[in-house]
């Protein structure tokens, strides 16, 4: 299969459904094979919610297949796209430069990114503003008695440490938390501007990291939460009239309702994490999450968490 963007049709305005998936990690051969089995969805749209892979080649593989199967594709970065590796086409490309390199690849495939204007979804379940964003994390998903300086040592006490500490560089910013602050301010302003432009429309906000700390439930690695978001976005679903908030990163598929807003964690995950699905002949086609039109809102806008092991 050629990954050249010249072989793909330009995106069209979808009239069907909007789907999302995250953390497809095509660096794993079995995940790449599964992604190559993605079926055509004429008339539909797809949001890729981060952690496609670590290299430009991984993005090319993912975008090549996605844009052949869906009329419009959106992408927002995860931590893995931002990794700086010692070799390959992105060798030693760090921080903002690595992100911009990813954005340039997306644009070659006509994939919409957080750097593009938000567009209005006019397909089923619309109209709604589709808003892919990029916020990173600032270690604020930590207990109140743990200081910022002690956050990473606190996690290390339980032998937990994100690879980000070695491969995700914040250049030219002095730290990841400072980069996060700048990104939050940037996308807060962009969402405010879009809200002013489309005051009557609901938003579909897509971000790799969860917007709320209370949606991070990591039973086996609880101290990994410090790499999972920022408290600065806790109320964004209300401030920006979100109908749905989409995230990945946790590799734990779930649906939550807060204040009438649906929160969807849409990860595929590493091969071992969706092995049970694969053994039931459930692949990426079955694990795509329908975002719009989606289910009806609960009567009081709240509902217990639905753990979606098989879809």
Digit-coded pLDDT (tens) for 85-106: 988 777 789 999 999 999 999 9
Averaged pLDDT score across all residues of the chain: 95
The span from the CA of 213 to the CA of 218, in Å, is: 11
Residue 6 has pLDDT above 70, yes or no: no
Q: Which conformational region is residue 211 in: left (phi greater than 0), alpha (psi within -120 to 50 degrees), or beta?
A: alpha
The stretch 32-59 carries a mean pLDDT of 97
Residue 53 has pLDDT above 80, yes or no: yes
The stretch 138-145 carries a mean pLDDT of 98
Q: In 172-203, which positions are buried (b, 16+ CB within 10 angstroms) versus exposed (e)?
A: ebeebbebbbebbeebbebbeebbeebeebbb
Instruction: For the chain, list the strands marked E by DSSP.
Output: 18-21, 41-48, 70-75, 119-121, 128-132, 203-206, 242-247, 254-258, 261-265, 289-292, 303-307
Digit-coded pLDDT (tens) for 246-291: 999 999 999 999 999 999 999 999 999 999 999 999 999 999 999 9
pLDDT at residue 2, rounded to an integer: 47
**Predicted confidence band at 78 (pLDDT cuts at 50, 70, 90)?**
very high
Residue 109 has pLDDT above 90, yes or no: yes
Q: Which conformational region is residue 23 in: left (phi greater than 0), alpha (psi within -120 to 50 degrees), or beta?
A: left
**Block residue for tokens 């979804």:** 121
Strands 128-132 and 119-121: antiparallel
Digit-coded pLDDT (tens) for 199-232: 999 999 999 999 999 999 999 999 999 999 999 9
pLDDT at residue 5, rounded to an integer: 56
- Least confident range of 102-106, 134-138, 306-310: 306-310
The span from the CA of 151 to the CA of 211, in Å, is: 19
The tokens for 90 are 């992105």
The tokens for 93 are 């490309």
pLDDT at residue 145, rounded to an integer: 97
**Predicted confidence band at 7 (pLDDT cuts at 50, 70, 90)?**
very low
Strands 41-48 and 254-258: unpaired
Residue 133 has pLDDT above 90, yes or no: yes
* Distance, CA of 81 to chain centre: 11
**Alpha-carbon torsion, ordered 235, 243, 44, 200, to 10 deg:** -110
Q: Which conformational region is residue 217 in: left (phi greater than 0), alpha (psi within -120 to 50 degrees), or beta?
A: beta
pLDDT at residue 183, rounded to an integer: 98
Reduce the DSSP state of residue 198 to 3 states and report it: coil
The tokens for 186 are 């940037």
The stretch 7-23 carries a mean pLDDT of 83
Domains and CATH numbers, the chain: 5-307 (3.60.21.10)
Percent pLDDT > 90 in the chain is: 92
**Predicted confidence band at 1 (pLDDT cuts at 50, 70, 90)?**
very low
pLDDT at residue 225, rounded to an integer: 98
Residue 117 has pLDDT above 70, yes or no: yes
């Amino acid at each position: 299969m050629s990954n050249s963007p010249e072989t793909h049709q330009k995106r069209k305005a979808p009239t069907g459904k909007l789907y999302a998936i995250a953390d497809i990690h095509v660096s794993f051969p079995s995940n790449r094979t599964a992604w190559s089995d993605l079926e055509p969805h004429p008339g539909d749209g797809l949001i890729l919610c981060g952690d496609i892979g670590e290299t430009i080649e991984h993005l090319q593989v993912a975008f090549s297949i996605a844009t052949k199967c869906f009329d419009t594709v959106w992408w927002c970065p995860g931590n893995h796209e931002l990794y700086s590796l010692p070799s390959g086409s992105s060798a030693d490309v760090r921080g903002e430069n690595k992100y911009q390199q990813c954005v340039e690849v997306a644009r070659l495939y006509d994939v919409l990114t957080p750097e593009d204007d938000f567009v209005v979804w006019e397909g089923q379940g619309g109209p709604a503003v589709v808003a892919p964003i990029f916020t990173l994390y600032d270690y604020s998903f930590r207990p109140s008695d743990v200081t910022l300086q002690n956050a990473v040592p606190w996690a290390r006490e339980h032998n937990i440490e994100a690879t980000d500490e070695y491969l995700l560089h914040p250049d030219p910013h002095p730290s990841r938390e400072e980069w996060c602050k700048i990104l939050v301010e940037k996308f807060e302003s962009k969402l405010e501007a879009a809200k002013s432009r489309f005051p009557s429309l609901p938003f579909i906000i897509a971000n790799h990291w969860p917007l709320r700390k209370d949606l991070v439930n990591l039973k086996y690695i609880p101290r990994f939460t410090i790499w999972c978001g920022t408290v600065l976005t806790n109320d964004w679903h209300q401030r920006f009239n979100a109908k749905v908030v989409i995230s990945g990163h946790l590799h734990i598929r779930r649906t939550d309702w807060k204040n009438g807003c649906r929160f969807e964690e849409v990860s595929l995950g590493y091969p071992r994490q969706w092995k049970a699905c694969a053994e039931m002949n459930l692949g990426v086609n079955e694990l795509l999450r329908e975002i719009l039109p989606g289910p009806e809102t609960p009567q009081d806008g709240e509902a217990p968490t639905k753990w979606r092991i098989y879809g």
